[in-house]
Chain A
Amino acid sequence: MINKKVDSIEEALKGVSDHMTFMLGGFGLCGIPENAIAELARKGVKNLTCISNNAGVDDFGLGLLLQNKQIKKMISSYVGENDEFERQMLSGELEVELTPQGTLAEKCRSAQAGFPAFYTPAGYGTEVADGKETRVFNGKMHVLEMAYKADFAFVKAWKGDEAGNLIFKGTARNFNPLMCGAATITVAEVEELVPLGVLDPNQIHTPGIFVQRIFQGEKFEKRIEQITVRQRS
Chain B
Amino acid sequence: MLDKNGIAKRIAKEVKNGYYVNLGIGIPTLVANFVRDDIEVEFQSENGVLGMGPFPFEGEEDADIINAGKQTITTMPGASFFDSATSFSMIRGKHVHLTILGAMEVSENGDIANWKIPGKMVKGMGGAMDLVASAENIIVAMMHTNKRGESKLLKRCSLPLTGVGCVTKVVTNLAVFEIKNNQFYLLERAPGVSVAEIKNATEGTLVVEGEIPEMNL
Known A-B contacts A100-B130, A170-B65, A228-B71; A78 and B123 likewise in contact (beta carbons under 8 Å): yes
- Complex Cα–Cα for A25 and B200 (A): 48
Contact A31 B125 (CB under 8 A): no
Q: In chain A, what residue has the closest Cβ to B128? A: A100
B55 touches A79 (CB 8 A): no
Quick check: is B19 within 8 A (CB to CB) of the other chain?
no
Chain A residues closer than 8 Å to B54, beta-carbon distance: 230
Instruction: Specify which chain B residues have a CB less than 8 angstroms from the CB of A178 in the assembled complex.
Output: 83-85
The closest CB in chain B to the CB of A143 belongs to B133
Mask, B104-120, CB within 8 Å of A = 1, is 00000001000100010
Q: With a CB–CB cut-off of 8 A, which chain B residues contact A123? A: 129, 133
Q: Which residues on the A side are within 8 Å of B46 (C-beta)? A: 101-102
In the complex, what distance in Å separates the CA atom of A27 from the CA atom of B161? 24
B16 within 8 A of A: no
Instruction: Report if A126-B130 is in contact (Cβ < 8 Å); known contacts: A27-B84, A80-B123.
Output: no
Whether A121 touches B83, Cβ cut-off 8 Å, given contacts A126-B129, A126-B163, is no
Contact, CB under 8 Å: B85 / A230: no
Indicate whether A105 reaches chain B with its CB closer than 8 angstroms. yes
A192 beta carbon closer than 8 Å to chain B: no
Most buried by A among B61, B81, B126: B126
A76: nearest residue on chain B (CB-CB)?
Answer: B124
Q: Is the CB of A30 within 8 A of B130?
A: no
Cβ of A21 within 8 Å of any chain B Cβ, yes or no, is no
Give chain A nearest CB distance to B192 CB in angstroms.
31
Q: Say yes or no: A171-B49 contact (C-beta < 8 A), given A120-B92, A126-B160, A229-B55.
A: yes
Query: What separation, in Å, do the CA atoms of A173 and B71 have in the docked complex?
Result: 16
Is the CB–CB distance between B124 and A127 below 8 Å?
A: no
Size category of the B interface is 35 or more
CB <8 Å contact, B126 and A101:
yes
Is A209 an interface position by the 8 A CB rule? Answer: no
Is the CB–CB distance between A173 and B161 below 8 Å? no
- A226/B69 in contact, CB under 8 A: yes
Q: Please tell me if the beta carbons of A126 and B83 are within 8 angstroms of each other in the complex.
A: no
Interface centre among B48, B49, B82, B133 (most CB of A within 10 A): B133
Decide if A109 is an interface residue (CB 8 Å cutoff). yes
- Supposing A122-B92, A173-B83 touch, asked if A229 and B56 sit within 8 A by C-beta, the answer is yes
Name the A residues within 8 Å of B163 (CB-CB). Answer: 124-126
Docked complex: A1-56 residues within 8 A CB-CB of B: 27-31, 53
Contact with B along A108-130 (1 / 0, CB 8 A): 11000000000011111111100
- Chain B, residues 48-90, CB within 8 Å of chain A (1/0): the string is 1100001111101111111111111100000001111101100
- Taken together as a complex, chains A and B put the C-alpha atoms of A78 and B68 apart, in Å, by 11
Residue A83 is within 8 A (CB to CB) of chain B in the complex: no
Counting chain B CB atoms within 10 Å of each CB, the highest count among A90, A121, A171, A178 belongs to: A171
Rounded to whole Å, the gap between the CB of B147 and the closest CB of chain A is 19
Contacting pair A109 B85 (CB below 8 A)? yes
- Would you list 8 pairs from A and B whose C-beta atoms are within 8 A, ordered by A residue? A27-B66, A76-B124, A81-B70, A101-B46, A103-B129, A169-B64, A170-B81, A178-B84
Given A77-B124, A171-B48, A174-B48, 7 more pairs with CB closer than 8 A: A100-B133, A101-B84, A102-B88, A102-B91, A106-B85, A122-B130, A175-B83
- A residues apposed to B, CB below 8 Å: 27-31, 53, 76-81, 86, 89-90, 96, 98, 100-106, 108-109, 120-128, 158, 168-178, 205, 222-232
